[in-house]
Amino acid sequence: MGRNDEQVKIRGFRIEPGEIAARLLEHPAVGDAVVVAREDGRGEQRLVAYVVAPEAEESDLAGGLRAHLSARLPDYMVPSAFVRLARLPLTVNGKVDRNALAAPDDEAYAHRAYAPPQGEIETALATIWAELLGVERIGRHDNFFELGGHSLLAVQLMSRLWQAQGVELPLMTVFAKPILAALAHEISITLLEQAFERDELQKLLSLGA
């Protein structure tokens, strides 16, 4: 059974990790589970699920478990990463040894079938995603939110895009185009539109000179 007895606060929401673990145990591939809040490399608290599941059950365990929880829980209760374990580490008292739970590696995230980013904009966008999400490898078919993105990170993403590319997009663009390749295409179109508008403005200014 899932073992969680502490309430945590993530992005302003109070969360019972035990409730998430209970929903994980409803998945046929999961034999045991614990959900904890971990601080990522940027100092933010993120939910990470540790599950006992056979290696043969699912090659994309993270994606399957994320979909399973997304159908049962609000987005803010869905962990960013899912770490597969042979067994949960226990203390001598039979409680989960949280200090023995390793940080999630790249396989713990819900990646799509990997294809490397193509072109300058996709590559630059993948670099920004990797830094914001704490994920080492980003593919062009990956989904920002499936990798642990949320509305606050989306705001930071828009800010980073402005700094790196000089492009200003509505926040809803990330929600409408969460796939890296699709968002990069939207950025390309916006950059072309901005360049065209600058050229037209220059022409008007030159005519008035």
d(CA 21, CA 35): 6
Model confidence over 139-190: pLDDT tens digits?
A: 999 999 988 888 889 999 999 999 988 888 899 999 999 999 999 999 999 9
Domain range list for the chain: 8-108, 119-208
Q: Which fold has domain 119-208?
A: 1.10.1200
Q: Which fold has domain 8-108?
A: GMP Synthetase; Chain A, domain 3 (3.30.300)
Residue 174's contacts (CB-CB under 8 Å, 6 or more residues apart) are 144, 149, 154, 157, 158, 183
pTM for the full model?
0.73
